Amino acid sequence: MELVTPGIGLLFWQTVTFLIVLFLLGKFAWKPIMNALHEREASIENALSAAEKAKLEIQALKADNEKLLAEARLERDRILKEATEAANSIVEASKQKANEEGARMIAQARESIENEKRAAITEVKNMAASLSLEIAEQILRRELSDKTAQQALAQDYIREVTLN
């Protein structure tokens, strides 16, 4: 049974050795291990805070991008509206100018037609007058070809003049 029960000397030396190893580990190994653990913990905390900060910056950038996108859309809509209004005003101006030009051309055509009509009426009157003179001349020549007809006509004119 001696193998199972340890001796007092062995227990003493095991305790002394354990305390020496514990002292040496505490003096030389425990502090560097703890410092390394603290540094590792600090670096993990720094990395987490940097990740959180980056996440917040990304959210801020997303919000800025959305804002810029909305502004760009508004600007695009404004430019399209202005272009449409400009096109409409140009079309309206062109229509109005075409209407005015058409009205002016119609007025000129009417005036030209009226002038041509007056000229034609004047020419017809002149032709009628000259035809009337020619007819009257021919009638008078025929009637006044003999002397007795001339005297009768003169007597008729004298009677008409005295009656009036």
Query: DSSP of 88-140, one letter per residue?
Result: HHHHHHHHHHHHHHHHHHHHHHHHHHHHHHHHHHHHHHHHHHHHHHHHHHHHH
At residue 2 the predicted structure's pLDDT band, cuts being 50, 70 and 90, is low
What's residue 9's pLDDT?
Answer: 84
pLDDT surpassing 60 at residue 163: no
pTM over 0.95: no
pLDDT surpassing 70 at residue 153: yes
- Please report where in the chains the tokens 């000129």 appear, as a residue: 108
pLDDT digits (tens, 9 = 90+) for 77-134: 999 999 999 999 999 999 999 999 999 999 999 999 999 999 999 998 888 888 888 8
